[in-house]
Amino acid sequence: MSGSSAATTRKPLLNQCVADTDALIATLAAFGGFFADMARRPSPAGLPTVRAFQQAQADVVCSWLQEAIARFSVKVGICAVQPA
């Protein structure tokens, strides 16, 4: 690889995806939700930067989720309980 770095030769994550798109969307949503939930909690003693790290992870995973939803034309709806 003369003259090129690994960063310039990498393909975007979703271009390499061969997984079931529903499973991919669900997994990204789960990880994004986990990191976002953990990031809003108080920092544990001795780990003052862990919440900022978790927020950064949530931001990246949620951007992947948005890209996956757009790329795979997934219809995202809101579930609502119908009144009786």
pLDDT tens-digit readout, 33-58: 999 999 999 999 999 999 999 999 99
Is residue 29 one of the residues assigned to a domain? yes
Q: Using CA atoms, how far apart are residues 71 and 9, in angstroms rounded to an integer?
A: 21
Is residue 57 one of the residues assigned to a domain? yes
Is residue 49 one of the residues assigned to a domain? yes
**Domain hosting residue 60, numbered range:** 15-71
**Other Cβ atoms within 10 Å of 61 Cβ, number:** 20
Instruction: Please report, to the nearest 10 degrees, the dihedral formed by the alpha carbons of residues 65, 67, 70, 71 taken in order.
Output: -110
Q: Using CA atoms, how far apart are residues 81 and 67, in angstroms rounded to an integer?
A: 28
| Domain total of the chain | 1
pLDDT of residue 13: 65
Is residue 67 one of the residues assigned to a domain? yes
State the pTM of this model: 0.68
pLDDT of residue 80: 47
Stronger pLDDT, 81 or 9, i.e. the higher one: 9
Is residue 31 one of the residues assigned to a domain? yes
Is residue 1 one of the residues assigned to a domain? no
Stronger pLDDT, 65 or 15, i.e. the higher one: 65
Confidence check: pLDDT of 22 > 60: yes
Is residue 38 one of the residues assigned to a domain? yes
What DSSP assignment string belongs to 8-41? Answer: HHPPPGGGG--S-HHHHHHHHHHHHHHHHHHHTS
Stronger pLDDT, 35 or 3, i.e. the higher one: 35
* Sole residue written with tokens 């949620």: 62
